[in-house]
Amino acid sequence: MSAKTGSVTIDGNTVELPVKSGTIGPDVIDIGKLYAQTGAFTYDPGFTSTASCESAITYIDGDEGILLHRGYPIEQLAEHGDFLETCYLLLYGELPTSAQKQDFDYRVQRHTMVHEQMARFFQGFRRDAHPMAVMVGSVGALAAFYHDSTDITDERQRMIASMRMIAKVPTLAAMAYKYTIGQPFVYPKNSLDYTSNFLNMCFAVPCEEYKINPVLARALDRIFILHADHEQNASTSTVRLAGSSGANPFACIAAGIACLWGPAHGGANEAALKMLAEIGSVERIPEYIAKAKDKNDPFRLMGFGHRVYKNYDPRAKIMQKTCHEVLAELGVKDDPLLEVAMELERIALHDEYFISKKLYPNVDFYSGITLKAMGFPTSMFTVLFAVARTVGWIAQWKEMIEDPTQKIGRPRQLYTGEPSRDFVPVSKR
């Protein structure tokens, strides 16, 4: 079968461009030689129609609401697996055998401590610093403590840095939380599984034994799975771009955390809960629906809409189920925020504006209610997203580094500024 091609004609000059097909999903037009052949760039702010790379890690079908990690549907991973198993899958491409899983879990568990000097690093922050600001600083600072795994050309160092981040980011996240509430840091416990250990580091205090609630630990582990990776989202693209210059992995992940913080991205879970609290009651929902529709009002329904999903975000369905499980386990009845969220979802899903623009709840819509019920403050919601997404960022960064065709990312632009002009001395301005 002859190779697929597309063609572009500019000022009568037609060029043929190769079309590449993936395993599933849309074809891509390889425009690598477009500028050389036509003198024109493509233009796609926000990359709505642009593939930035080739990847084999995650696939999303936005129209069908499908999310696959290395081919496995998110629903099956969330139902039958655990978070570290998903980490292994994202990093190595296959589900681990029992022996591989045991070895991987053991290696992660024995990298959870951070250099003791990092505890003093935290002292530099104000107690009321936003935990995401602390995370950007402390994860970036890992490069200062673990310089022996920053040579990205060395496969062994790449894997050590990867394991260190998967293992240490939860410890730093728990330390960021403890620091802001003025409680002492809690060391990781290797006798606990990954997520129970995180809960213990967040909620244990020296004066009494902290009892892990297995239902909550399982729920949070599932929430981590839901947030692990998601194709070339803004923060992953940030990590890839930072990594394309050869920056060390700790700095790249810190850049990803900074990007994730934005309310249009990972910060939406914090913003969604604040929005639900601001709406406050079912009676006020119509007022906010009207604001969301008003072109002159910058207000958007946080936790709604998605660049890729034009159907229900499959993670949101699992998130909603987990939310009900957690509230039931905690005996939280008639949570006003949940009541507002469910009524808001019901109204929005029947409203022409949201239907026509294919706006559905995304992963951030129900996560805030769940995390708040578990005892996390709103300011920690995006931190938890970062804990989970660290493995996705690392898997995508590794894939890029190991791609022989990769080069430094350097987009061009459409220049609309002043043409060349001569300097005017200040006496003549």
Residues that bind ligand SDX (CB under 6 A): 46, 230, 233, 264-266, 268, 292, 300-308, 357, 359, 362-364
Q: Which CB, 211 or 295, lies closer to ligand SDX?
A: 295
For the CB of residue 387, give the shortest distance to ligand SDX in the complex, in Å. 14
Residue whose CB is nearest to ligand SDX in the complex, by number: 305
- To the query of whether residue 306 is one of the catalytic residues in this protein, the response is yes
CA 351 to chain centre: 29
Q: Which CB, 203 or 354, lies closer to ligand SDX?
A: 354
Q: Which CB, 114 or 301, lies closer to ligand SDX?
A: 301
For the CB of residue 2, give the shortest distance to ligand SDX in the complex, in Å. 35
For the CB of residue 33, give the shortest distance to ligand SDX in the complex, in Å. 29
For the CB of residue 130, give the shortest distance to ligand SDX in the complex, in Å. 18
Rounded Cα–Cα distance for residues 276 and 271 (Å): 9
Q: Which CB, 96 or 267, lies closer to ligand SDX?
A: 267
Q: Which CB, 86 or 233, lies closer to ligand SDX?
A: 233
Question: What backbone phi and psi angles, to 5 degrees, belong to 266?
Answer: -70, -20
Of the candidates 148, 306, 324, 422, the residue annotated as catalytic is 306
Of the candidates 105, 221, 229, 364, the residue annotated as catalytic is 364
Half-sphere exposure (Cβ direction) of 284: Cα atoms closer than 13 Å: 12
Residue 274: which residues within 8 A CB-CB, separation 6 or more?
302, 378
For the CB of residue 238, give the shortest distance to ligand SDX in the complex, in Å. 11
**For the CA atoms of 150, 155, 160, 165, what is the dihedral angle to 10 degrees?**
70
Q: How far is CA 253 from CA 152, 228, 235, in A?
A: 13, 14, 9
Output Rg (C-alpha) for the chain, integer angstroms: 23
Length of the chain: 429
Which residues belong to the active site? 306, 364
